[in-house]
Amino acid sequence: MPTKLITLPTGNPAQAQALLTQTLQENKVLLIVIGSTNIAVNTADRAARFAGAPDEARWVVRAPVIEDVITILKTIKDPTPLVLDWDDTLLIAVSITDVIRDMIDQDGTLPTLVRLQTAWMKAENNQ
């Protein structure tokens, strides 16, 4: 099955912002992974395995350089709030109505598959 992982371009913030904005505007359930560490890259790849069929709503976005897209990220609704410090954030789960519903922070460990699955479910639950 083709991968449902979008890696935002580096070295071109405008392009990265445009792509992220466009993706957010589409009716998608997103896991947005932040960073370019091994953990971030592996997390994005593992999350993408559970994105389902090509025509389903789940997609994974990896933002290698947070500074390029932080302004866009901060516009995503976070009513709880779950994100307290973007620099400590590894992954956010965004619902189909563009609300942050789960967050995994960077603790130096690779999130388990069960944890990723839970993030997907919370994003879909949209509550």
Count of beta carbons in the 10 Å neighbourhood of residue 52: 14
Stretch that binds other proteins, among 8-16, 47-55, 61-69, 78-86 (CB under 8 A): 47-55
Strand locations in 1-127 (E) = 5-7, 29-34, 58-63, 89-94, 100-105
> Counting contacts by CB under 8 A, is residue 121 touching other proteins?
yes
Q: Which of residues 61-120 bind other proteins (CB under 8 A)?
A: 95-97, 112-114, 117-118, 120
Residue with tokens 């997390």: 43
Residues that bind other proteins (CB under 8 A): 1, 27, 29, 49-50, 52-53, 55-58, 95-97, 112-114, 117-118, 120-127
